[in-house]
Amino acid sequence: MKKKNGISVGTILILSLSLGVVTLTFLFLLVISGSDFGRMENQKADERPAEESPAVVMDEKAEDAQRDSRGADAETLPEESGDPIQIALSFAGDITVTRGMQETLMINDHEYDFTRAFAGVSGAFGEADLSIATLETLINTMAPYDTYNAPPDLLEALKAIGIHHLNLATEHMMDLGFDGLKATKLEVTRLGMEYSGYLSQSELEGIISVNGVKIAVLAYTYGLSDEGRVLTGKSGLKEIPIFSIQKVLEGIRTVRAQGADLVVVLPHWGTKNVETVTEGMRKTAQQMAEAGADLIIGTHPNVVSEAGFIETKRADGRMHETLVCYSIGGLLTEARNDDNAAGMILNVGIEYDPGTRSCRIRNCRPIPLYIYQDRINDRRIWRALNVLDEEQLGQVSETVREKAAGAMARVKSMTGDIER
């Protein structure tokens, strides 16, 4: 009998069981290996450096940059900015010495003692790093002397009381022509003093360094006397600092561009013996402040006028404070009315920040003066008296003390808003 070809049922069952066992084994191995793989990946993730993650790289670089920036600031800013620098400035008004005044101070034909005229204010400039006064006369070594032409002895007396810098830009600066102005400049420099207002602002006098701070002093006069205009001529007017708002603003911007940290403008303006401040003067002061003037100290009226602060936003985008005194009166004059006899010295404390290159007016103190006539050996002598100096007040008569009190009241009424 012949056998049939095929797979028996038993064989199929055995094969099925074997396949199932293999499949289960494979699945079991896969689960195990997958679990181990996951643990390996987690371990690798733990060990992977943070910079491999783009988000982490960005955050850490930002933090590093901030740390570097803070570190740089901590190391360089103090060196760049430094500690604030303190500067003490003093300003005095017009100095006029007529022929009659000079004769009362004459010792002999060639010598004059002007120290007696200024002895009463000798302590007012002692702490100033820079003190400035307006010289409303020329200085000449050739006698005889006359009104608006004084001997060099006057400069020696001014230097002795602590004046460092003289403003020459007044209406009388050309009363002896260019030769007289040059002679004055030579005498000022011979004594080691400085000056402003000699040349036009196209030829700037330069920038003074005070305690490491660069200070520009710009001086202008409203015009010239009749004598000065005749001797100068129209062609010569461009060689001297005649006041115009265009010239002043150009001068301020020029010295700022040259590196000036502090700008002082000395306008010889206004009307003689008139304290009134015109709207034109206010507008001009505002323009000068906006252009970069830190201090505006006016002279010429020979009376004390109002003073105040101007708040402006300048080209750097920051708010700045400018001190303006429209007229600080006289330091020495023979005029006898009460308004002329009341002068002042203005002491200003400046704090300069090297980091921002900005100045702050830290304190401001007007010192009232009384200019009076004294008599020594039957000779009249004009004297300037510091009304706040008790020692000096004790050396004058009761009448002078009363007049001095009136001068103080007048000065305070004009300048009380700027005291700090």
CATH value at residue 387: 3.60.21.10
- Domain assignment of residue 246, yes or no: yes
pLDDT tens digits for 296-334?
999 999 999 999 999 999 888 889 999 999 999 999 999
Predicted confidence at residue 143, as pLDDT, reads: 65
In percent, how much of the chain has pLDDT > 90? 64
User: Do residues 69 and 148 both lie within one domain?
Assistant: no
The residue-averaged pLDDT of 45-71 equals 35
pLDDT tens digits for 321-370?
999 999 999 999 998 899 999 999 999 999 999 998 899 999 999 999 99
User: Do residues 59 and 99 both lie within one domain?
Assistant: no
Predicted confidence at residue 147, as pLDDT, reads: 79
Predicted confidence at residue 54, as pLDDT, reads: 32
- Domain assignment of residue 139, yes or no: yes
User: Do residues 65 and 187 both lie within one domain?
Assistant: no
Predicted confidence at residue 87, as pLDDT, reads: 97
User: Do residues 39 and 99 both lie within one domain?
Assistant: no
Predicted confidence at residue 16, as pLDDT, reads: 55
In percent, how much of the chain has pLDDT > 70? 79
User: Do residues 281 and 391 both lie within one domain?
Assistant: yes
- Torsion from C-alpha of 195, 196, 201, 203, nearest 10 degrees: 0
Instruction: Compute CA distances 176 → 183, 192, 228, whole Å.
Output: 10, 23, 7
User: Do residues 281 and 386 both lie within one domain?
Assistant: yes
- Strands (DSSP E) found in 291-341: 295-297, 307-313, 319-325, 330-332
Predicted confidence at residue 29, as pLDDT, reads: 44
Among residues 78, 101, 136, which one ends one of the domains? 78
pLDDT classification of 52: cutoffs 50, 70, 90: very low
Q: How far is residue 138's CA from residue 149's CA, in Å, rounded to a whole number?
A: 5
Least confident of 143-152, 156-165, 238-247, 300-309: 143-152
Are 264 and 294 a contacting pair, CB within 8 Å? yes
User: Do residues 254 and 327 both lie within one domain?
Assistant: yes
Q: What is the mean pLDDT of the chain?
A: 82
Determine the structural domain holding residue 236 and report its residue range.
Answer: 82-418
Q: How far is residue 132's CA from residue 118's CA, in Å, rounded to a whole number?
A: 15
Domain total of the chain: 2
pTM above 0.85, yes or no: no
Predicted confidence at residue 74, as pLDDT, reads: 32
- Domain assignment of residue 27, yes or no: yes
Predicted confidence at residue 303, as pLDDT, reads: 97
The residue-averaged pLDDT of 275-284 equals 97
pLDDT tens digits for 211-239?
999 999 999 999 999 999 999 887 778 77
Predicted confidence at residue 7, as pLDDT, reads: 53
User: Do residues 255 and 182 both lie within one domain?
Assistant: yes
- Domain assignment of residue 2, yes or no: no
- Domain assignment of residue 3, yes or no: no
- Domain assignment of residue 205, yes or no: yes
Among residues 51, 78, 105, which one ends one of the domains? 78
Tally the residues of the chain: 420
Predicted confidence at residue 315, as pLDDT, reads: 83
Q: How far is residue 270's CA from residue 281's CA, in Å, rounded to a whole number?
A: 8
Predicted confidence at residue 20, as pLDDT, reads: 56
* Residue 82 main-chain phi, psi, to 5 deg: 70, 180
Q: Which position has the higher pLDDT, 345 or 48?
A: 345
Burial classification of residue 91, based on how many CB atoms lie within 10 Å of its CB (0-12 exposed, 13-18 middle, 19 or more buried): buried
User: Do residues 102 and 147 both lie within one domain?
Assistant: yes
Least confident of 34-38, 175-179, 231-235, 236-240: 34-38
Residue 141 pLDDT greater than 50, yes or no: yes
Q: Which position has the higher pLDDT, 174 or 78?
A: 174
Predicted confidence at residue 205, as pLDDT, reads: 55
User: Do residues 48 and 194 both lie within one domain?
Assistant: no
Cα-only R_g, the chain: 41
Among residues 78, 110, 131, which one ends one of the domains? 78
Least confident of 21-30, 82-91, 131-140, 298-307: 21-30
- Domain assignment of residue 1, yes or no: no
Q: How far is residue 298's CA from residue 265's CA, in Å, rounded to a whole number?
A: 8
User: Do residues 74 and 109 both lie within one domain?
Assistant: no
Are 201 and 241 a contacting pair, CB within 8 Å? yes
Q: How far is residue 177's CA from residue 184's CA, in Å, rounded to a whole number?
A: 11
Residue 265 pLDDT greater than 80, yes or no: yes
Q: How far is residue 348's CA from residue 361's CA, in Å, rounded to a whole number?
A: 7
Q: Which amino acid is at 232?
A: T
User: Do residues 69 and 87 both lie within one domain?
Assistant: no
- Domain assignment of residue 4, yes or no: no
The residue-averaged pLDDT of 99-124 equals 89
Structure-block tokens of residue 27: 């699945």
Using alpha carbons, select from 191, 179, 250, 185 the residue that is nearest to residue 218.
250
Predicted confidence at residue 295, as pLDDT, reads: 98
pLDDT classification of 72: cutoffs 50, 70, 90: very low
Q: Which amino acid is at 350?
A: I
